[in-house]
Amino acid sequence: MPGSDGHPVDLAVIGGGIAGLWILDAAVRAGRNAILIEAFELGHGQSVAAQGIIHGGLKYTLRERDLDAAGAIADMPGFWRDRHESIDGPGPDLRAARMSAPCTWMWRTDSLASRLGMLGAKAALRTRPETISEADRPRLLRNAAGAVLRVAEPVFDTRSVLRAIADAHPGRIFGVDGPEGIEFASTGGRVERMILRSGDAEVAVRPTAVVLAAGVGNEGLRTRLGLDAEVAQRRPLHMGLIRARTLPEFHGHCVDGNKTRVTITSGRDEAGRTVWQLGGDLAERGVERDGGAQRRAAYRELRGVLPGLDLDGIEDLEWSSYRVDRAERRTRAGLRPDDAEVIPLHDGRLVTAWPTKWALAPRLAASVLEATEAITGSGKGSEKGSSTSVDLPASFETLRRPGIAAFPWEERSWTSHHDVVSAAPV
């Protein structure tokens, strides 16, 4: 765009997942003139594929190496619950988001390792989960061996959370034509100017600070800025899926020794069917399996961890799977970081950000604001984080407005239960 230096903004956030949206909201509330740029649709990739559990650290007490992570995330269930119930306090208004469940369940199989793992989890927590009597257990766990625990970890519909935050800032969120829809003028990672392209539209921006919050896209962005992409790591998952109209909604973790054997969360597809996402060790080990093998493994796991669920008796039951990468800051051994992570450069003029876990988005936003405080400052902000008085030129209106990405199960092919069972080894 010859002759144009670009419109000045305090903060340009690249990436419209839970990390980028929470950072945008926090920046606006702090009085900064911030915009968000998304190359695809909001939540594309990792965010919309998340299971939506706001972990409080319970699953991290199963292994000693994860105890630091348990401490970092301990306050998140209460924080998210407050944002869902009230407009008072810090953070976005999530009253319009759907809380799928106020709690999750934890149970074990009947192996010795599983019994020891459950005892370790109960002993290590600062706030212990509640042991439920057999009469008060959910129907699927009535015959579970040993204790069944109710854990105060809410589960959110991920798309509804993204929409609730995005709807609060309609004049600040812009879509471009893929990663190449952003052209940088930079030196050593310090961005002086960006040109945003969407169809025939071009808009020049001169940001004081840029935040890279694009998940796996951070690697490509850093490469284009002449920076080391090896500071990032990916830990892949191969998630299992099942769906049926009569499948009950359920959210919980089955513990086996020092690992979460399977994590189950529920959602709905566009036809109104219940969909279970199957994570945990099943998804981690499933990385080495193809789709057919993962469907068969998921069938065997559910039979093992939920013997009270008659899979063969559920009409129209179908199976599928999807792959997703967890994008994180690299650790020495390639393990999950303990907390949300940021790498600031040039006194905060460029920040690379990873939330590590969906639940840690508030901590990530706080770290980003702290890293950019010296150069972007803080103003009075607008009333309760409103974006109604955005000082942006009319040219921004020519850029597309990204929608919310579809759930991964809407874009997968499905296999009938009969075909999965027929292919499973006896």
* DSSP-assigned states of every residue in 329-350: E--TTSPPPSS-EEEEEGGGTE
Q: Report the candidate in 407, 387, 397 with the shortest Cα–Cα distance to residue 175.
A: 397
Q: Cα(372)–Cα(349) distance, rounded to whole angstroms? A: 7
Residues sharing a CB contact under 8 Å with residue 248, sequence separation 6 or more, in sequence order? 139, 140, 274
Q: Are 102 and 154 in contact (CB under 8 A)?
A: yes
Element (H, E) at 353: strand 350-354
Backbone angles phi, psi at 99, to 5 degrees: -85, 110
pLDDT string in tens for the chain (426-residue length):
443 689 999 999 999 999 999 999 999 999 999 999 999 999 999 999 999 999 987 655 554 444 454 567 889 999 999 999 988 888 999 999 999 999 999 998 765 344 444 554 554 444 468 899 989 999 999 988 888 999 999 999 999 999 999 999 999 999 999 999 999 999 999 999 999 999 999 999 999 999 999 999 999 999 999 999 999 999 999 999 999 999 999 999 999 877 899 999 999 999 999 999 999 999 999 999 999 999 999 999 999 999 889 999 999 999 999 999 999 999 999 999 999 999 999 999 999 999 999 999 999 999 999 999 999 875 444 444 445 446 789 999 999 999 999 999 999 999 999 999 998 675
Nearest to 66 by CA among 121, 17, 116, 21: 121
Q: How many CB atoms are located within 10 Å of the residue 145 CB? A: 14
Q: Are 25 and 168 in contact (CB under 8 A)?
A: yes
Cut 0.75: pTM above it: yes
* Mutual angle of helices 18-29 and 361-376, in 10-degree steps: 50
Domains of the chain: 7-47+161-233+331-398 (3.50.50.60), 100-155+234-327+408-423 (3.30.9)
Task: Please report the pLDDT score of residue 146 as a whole number.
Answer: 80
